[in-house]
Amino acid sequence: MASGRKIIFIFIILASLAAAGCTTLPDIEPVRAAAGPAEDTLVSANHAAVDQLLASLMPPRGFNKSQPIIVATLVNVDNLNGSRLGRVLSEQIATRLTMKGFSVIELKLRDNIFINEKEGELLLSRKIKDISLNHNAQAVVVGTYAESSGYVYVTVKMVDSTDGQVMAAHDYALPLDANIRSLLRGGVTN
């Protein structure tokens, strides 16, 4: 009898193994590289801000997609200094403008513009006209941000480079998550 139970036991194990080999597992969705929720929030918020900025352009201004735009580093509203966050914001804004078919000048490649490593491509009002004329830019995108307890509030403006008038403006808020905190605290990296 003991040998009969062993045979039945072995048969059950073999049947279980055979049945397990025939089952199908559900498809596993691949993990998207470098697309965590914090990045999605930052990138999508900045891209949406550009879309809103472009949608609010004053129609009588005659904006030309092929005439260059300069994107300045967004600065902290309290001290007008650039930061990693300000540089990331401006890079993503420039990316979205380029994706929308606008001609964007990359200031970091220009020899005749002084770029302070700690401040990025800050465009002070007295220099906007000169820089814009040198590069035949029709507009400059400038902006500020302010940190609060739960959000970073961002303002972006598209300014006519010839007369300094604001052509379009948009405000938005970014959740002050770990990603944004690291960009605010990080300062300049070497």
Domain 37-185 has CATH 3.20.130.10: no
Q: Match 């062993």 to its residue by tokens.
A: 6
What is the per-residue pLDDT for 131? Answer: 66
Mean pLDDT of 21-29: 41
Domain spans in the chain, listed from the N-terminal domain onward: 37-185
- Say if CB 61 and CB 167 are below 8 A apart: yes
CA distances from 175 to 40, 79, 124 (A): 12, 21, 28
Ranges 31-35, 43-47, 87-91, 95-99: which has the least confidence: 31-35
- Say if CB 108 and CB 121 are below 8 A apart: yes
For residue 82, the one-letter residue type is: G
C-alpha–C-alpha distance, residues 16 and 28, integer Å: 24
- Nearest alpha-carbon partner for 130 in 98, 157, 162, 153: 162
Confidence of residue 102 (pLDDT cuts 50, 70, 90): very high
Mean pLDDT of 7-22: 54
Number of Cβ within 10 Å of residue 81's Cβ equals 15
What's the chain's average pLDDT?
A: 75
Predicted confidence (pLDDT) at residue 15 exceeds the cutoff of 90: no
What is the per-residue pLDDT for 114? Answer: 43
Predicted confidence (pLDDT) at residue 33 exceeds the cutoff of 50: no
